[in-house]
Structure 1
Amino acid sequence: MDNLDIAAAILLTAVLAWAFDAVTGRRGLAAPLLVAFTGALCGGFLAVRVFSVATMDQWLWVVWSVVAAALALVAHFLFRNTR
Structure 2
Amino acid sequence: MQYLDIILAVAGALALGWVADLLTGGRGIARTLLASLTGAACGWFLAVRVFGAHAMGDIRWVVWAMAGSVIVLLVYFLTRNKR
The alignment's TM-score, normalised by the length of structure 2, stands at 0.96
> Any unmatched runs of 5+ in structure 2?
none
The offset of 1:29, in angstroms, is: 0.6
Task: Indicate the residue corresponding to 1:18 in structure 2.
Answer: 18
Q: How many residues align?
A: 83
**CA drift at 1:23:** 0.3
* Offset at residue 49 of structure 1 (A): 0.5
| Partner residue, 2:37 | 37
How far apart, in 1, do the equivalents of 2:2 and 2:59 lie? 12
The normalised TM-score by structure 1 is: 0.96
- What is the Cα deviation at residue 42 of structure 1? 0.6
What is the match of residue 59 of structure 2?
Answer: 59
Structure 2 residue identity aligned to 1:21: D
SS at match of 1:2: coil
Separation of aligned partners in 1, 2:82 and 2:27: 14
Runs of 4+ in 1 over 3 A off after TM superposition: none
Q: Distance in 2 between matches of 1:26 and 1:4?
A: 29
Give the structure 1 partner of residue 9 of structure 2.
9
Aligned partners of 1:26 and 1:17: how far apart in 2?
10
The alignment's C-alpha RMSD in Å is 0.7
Task: Report the counterpart of residue 70 of structure 2 in structure 1.
Answer: 70
Runs of 5+ consecutive residues of structure 1 not aligned to the other structure: none
